[in-house]
């Protein structure tokens, strides 16, 4: 792995663990095993490196989500696969956690990939819900946008509840609850 790649990967990890303020250039260099001037050789500074790291994290989140959204099965099957896939629940969502970072939220350029990713996720979930409705798998009166927003809110809120309780159980309860509500919209025989 190149030095630039090690710097980006180290920054991704540190942003997830410590946030933007806690991600000092020194910590990045130590984690990456890179020399003193390496960061400034590849990036103009911490902000540019953080932007690259956030962008990479956002891209990976989208790619992983698309594995379930584009997979086989009914809309409910695919949404369930996404909501229940393996996650490091107690660490939280690496993108969602950035919404709590005042320095990221105060910087329009750093905030953009966070907002874009969460907007993409709601939009993609709404598309899957609409596919299910249009295929007769879900009640014809199902409105995809609020369902998608509720799914994302339950997941992100589940992370918060899990971290506060230091237990994954609240996350799994939130996911089970919102999926049960969605399953109530399934039409008979759509399994």
- The structure's pTM equals 0.92
Long-range CB pairs of 59-65 (<8 Å, 24+ gap) are 61/93, 61/94, 61/95, 61/117, 61/121, 62/117, 62/120, 62/121, 65/121, 65/124
Euclidean distance between CA atoms 83 and 65, whole angstroms? 9
Distances (CA, A) of 29 to 36, 37, 129: 7, 9, 44
Report whether pLDDT(120) > 90: yes
Tens of pLDDT along 34-74?
987 888 888 888 999 999 999 999 999 999 999 999 999 99
Q: How confident is the prediction for the chain on average, in pLDDT? A: 95
The pair of structure tokens assigned to 21 is 């303020």
């Amino acid at each position: 792995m190149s030095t630039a790649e090690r710097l980006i990967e180290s920054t991704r990890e540190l942003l997830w663990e410590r946030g933007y303020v806690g991600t000092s250039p020194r910590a990045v260099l130590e984690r990456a095993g890179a020399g003193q001037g390496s960061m400034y050789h590849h990036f103009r500074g911490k902000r540019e490196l953080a932007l690259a790291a956030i962008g990479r994290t956002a891209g990976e989140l989208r790619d992983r989500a698309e594995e379930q959204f584009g997979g086989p099965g009914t809309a409910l099957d695919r949404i369930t696969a996404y909501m229940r896939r393996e996650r490091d629940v107690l660490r939280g969502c690496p993108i969602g956690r950035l919404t709590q970072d005042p320095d990221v939220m105060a910087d329009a350029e750093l905030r953009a990939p966070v907002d874009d990713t969460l907007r993409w996720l709601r939009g993609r979930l709404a598309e899957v819900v609409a596919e299910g409705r249009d295929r007769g798998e879900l009640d014809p009166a199902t409105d995809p946008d609020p369902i998608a927003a509720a799914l994302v809110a339950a997941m992100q809120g589940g992370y918060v509840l899990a971290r506060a309780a230091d237990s994954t159980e609240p996350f799994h309860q939130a996911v089970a609850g919102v999926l049960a509500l969605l399953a109530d919209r399934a039409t008979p025989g759509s399994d």
